[in-house]
Structures are given as C-alpha cells and as structure tokens.
Amino acid sequence: MTAAFAAVLRRDLLVALRRKGDALNVLIFFVIVASLFPLGTGAEPGQLRTMAAGVIWVGALLAALLSLPRLFAADLADGTLEQMLVSAQPLPAVVAAKVAAHWLSTGLPLALIAPVLGLQYGLPSDALLVLLGAVLLGTPVLSLVGAAGAALTLGVRGAGVLTGLLVLPLCVPALVFGAGALTASLSGLAPGPHLSLLGALLAVSLPLGLWAACAALRVALD
Amino acid sequence: MLNANGLSCERGDRQLFAGLSLALEAGGLARLLGANGSGKTSLLRILAGLTRPAAGEVRWRGERIGDLAEEYGRELAYIGHAPALKDELTVAENLAFAARLAGIVASGAQLEAALEVLGMATRAALPARVLSQGQKRRVSLARLALPGAPALWLLDEPFAALDEDGIGRVRALTEAHLARGGMLVLTSHQDVPVAAGSIQTVTLGA
C-alpha cells in the first residue's frame, strides 16, 4: 500500500515537474487575482488590511480550482486511470497519492506565496505567519474536496465549470475559518481556534474526500 | 479458474449480449470475435472488473471478482485500447510505473530485458510522446514480459497498430504464457494464430 502511494506520488510529481507550466499558471493566476483588488478598490492601507484575508483566500480557492480538471482527466485520456482501477493496489492509496501530488504541486506553492501577497496588503509579520499556517492547513482541504469534485465530473462536457459549481460551495467552511484566523489575528484575538477548526476540517475531509473520489472514479469508468 | 456465468451487458438502451458464459482453465485461450460495437471491449472490461454486468457474475478461483478486489488485480493484466503511457515520462519510467502498479518490483536490467522482448530496449530513454502508435503498444505490452507477470491476461486488440515483427513478438510472448499455464482472453480483428492447449471462440453479436 505504501509502495503504491510512493509510486503514484513519484510519478505524478515527475509529470508535474516536466510540465512546469501547469503549476506556474496556477501560481501566476493567484498573484494576478490578488493584485487586481487593490487596483480596483484603491490603495487605502486600512481598507486593504481589512479585505486582505478575504481576497487572498478567494484567490487561492479560484487558483486551486483552475488546476482541478487535469487531476484525473489526463489519466483518463491516456488509459492510466483504467490501469489504476484494475491494479494490484488499493484504489484509496492511489487516489491519496494523486491528491498529495496535486497539493505539493499547486497547494504548497500557493501557501508559500500567500505571505508575499500579504505583504502587498500591508499585513504585520505575525499576521503573515497566521496566513501561512491557515493556507497550509486549508489548501489540502481544497485538494481533497476538489478531487471528489473532479472525479464526479470526469468525462462530462464542460467539466471545468461543473467542478467549480460543485466544489466552491463545499469550500465555504475552509474559507470562513481560514479568513477568520487572519481577521482574528489582525484584531488582536488569538487565531488558534480558527486554525484548530481548519485542522479538524482537514481531518474530516481526508477520509470523506478520498472515499467520495474513489466511488466516483469507479462509477465514471463503469 | 476464470468462470463467467450468464453475463449480459447493456449500453444505453441497447443490449449487447445476454446469457454469455465462459470458462477458462490453466493454459486456455479465449478469442472474442464480433463486429465493431458488438461488445468485445465491454466483455473484456466486465471480465477485468471495470464494468459491472447487467446480469450474471464473474468468478476467479471460485470467488466473485467483486469480493476479491485488489487480490484479483494482482493476478490480472488488462491492456485496453489506450496504451496507458504518460507522454512526459520516458519509456523505462512508464514501464517501471506500470510494474509497480501491478505489484511487481523490477530491477533496471529486468525492465530492459522486458523491453528487449518487444524490441524496444533501444528506445528506453525516449519520452513516450515521440513514440508511434505501434511503439506505444509495444511498450504497454512490455510489462507482460516482466518476471512475475500475472496469470490472467485480458488483451484488447493486442496486435492492432503492430507491424509484422511486432505481431510475431507478441504472438511468441502469448504462446509462452499459455505454455506456462497462463490464461489469455483476447479480442482481435487480425487472424493471428496463437497456439494453445485449449482454444475457445466466443462470437458476439451473432
């Protein structure tokens, strides 16, 4: 099982590494979205600081969404998904590895660049740390929920938009707690509870997301 | 070993086949014949456990394949229409991944030997992107030549896109497998004679 996880993780990361453009596009999209808001709303520092949390989170959410359609569609098109379903390896291990690779190639870069965007919004240094922690905890939730959404819309026409319609509402809790942690920190409150709730959300979405994605993949390939 | 009883398959509103039974023992070969769209691939997918039949069941060593899950996967090699190769990876990397997925840990020399059986050893370092259809098929079939290959092979049009040399190599590979007591189900439009202890022909859409 761990061998299967390692093999799929290694392969997906290798593919991501040789298609750097895909991951880079997501990152650039995130930076552009987060940079457009100050241009539209004006650069008044107090106002920027209050909207930073929401803008950065929504930007990360949309950027993560952008990368979801390829998660299973490429494997479906070249036949590797079929092989994963008939393989000697348990499907949840394979899907978990794919989600992990997706997070490492999109979620992690988003989390690492989020504090830089936070600087742009004039966030103090302790708030930047909270932002980093919250995005680190929140992006795996997006990958897991997104994997279930991507699996459900596999092979459907207009899958990209449909995935968004499915996934975005389910990501509301991550958005609320993630942005909440930053807002709390900015207003001098402890961000701990929000981060704990984000962690709990991750713990819940790990089994549920994997289970839903596996079930949806079996149906999609029936 | 492999027993299918009363299988029927529906695609949309159309019934492709019904009441189909198949029994395969060690060293046995089953050829699936039929026109395009007669359900050959659907039957292979049912036997692989990818598609659920509308009626009937498939048993492997007496147990339902749905209950066996990955245990069945360990004894099964299913090679469909798509070559299951990642364009971004090299031929050797693709084969190594396919082997791991099948639960086989193969050394570099074993991977190269398997590629050599299909005549692809000299292309090992090329990305799969630059291969022709026939070469891709050879690479996807190369995992059958690895040591520890599974007992049951389900091959969908294994000879498609292959040249004469490729057909000869695949034929030799499948005959060696059958001679070892392996089992093979294949669909093919080309009339490639594969020698086996027992051969049965299933004609679909008749």
pLDDT digits (tens, 9 = 90+) for A46-69: 888 888 888 999 999 999 998 898
Task: Determine whether the interchain pair B51/A19 forms a contact, defined as Cβ–Cβ distance below 8 Å.
Answer: no
Q: Do both B24 and B70 map to the same domain?
A: yes
Cβ neighbours of A89 in B, within 8 Å: 70, 73, 101, 103
Indicate whether B93 and B42 sit together in one domain: no
Q: Which amino acid is at B122?
A: T
B84·A80 Cβ contact <8 A: yes
Range of the domain at B154: 1-75+150-206
How many structural domains is chain A composed of? Answer: 1
Instruction: Tally the domains of chain B.
Output: 2
Q: For residue B134, tell me if it sits in a domain.
A: yes
Give dist(CA A82, CA B78) in Å, integer.
9
Structural domain of A80: 2-220
B177, B157: one domain:
yes
Q: Are both B158 and B141 inside the same structural domain?
A: no
Q: Which tens digit of pLDDT belongs to each residue from B30-68?
A: 999 888 888 889 999 999 999 889 999 999 998 898 888
Do B38 and B90 share a structural domain? no
Q: Average pLDDT for residues A135-164, to the nearest whole number?
A: 91
Higher-confidence residue: B29 or A159? B29
State the ipTM, two decimals.
0.88
C-beta separation of A95 from A212 below 8 A: no
Q: In this structure, what CATH number is given to the domain that contains residue B164?
A: 3.40.50.300
Closest residue of A to B81, CA-based?
A79
Cβ pair B39, B17 in contact under 8 A: yes
Please state the φ and ψ torsions of residue A69, each to the nearest 5 degrees: -55, -35
| Min Cα separation A64/chain B (Å) | 22
Sequence-separated contacts (24+) of B166-169 with Cβ below 8 Å: B166/B118, B166/B119, B166/B134, B166/B137, B166/B138, B167/B192, B169/B117, B169/B118, B169/B119, B169/B138
pLDDT of A159 over the 90 cut: no
Q: Which residues pair with B198 in a beta bridge?
A: B28
Do B2 and B89 sit in the same domain of this protein? no
Q: What is the mean pLDDT of chain A?
A: 91
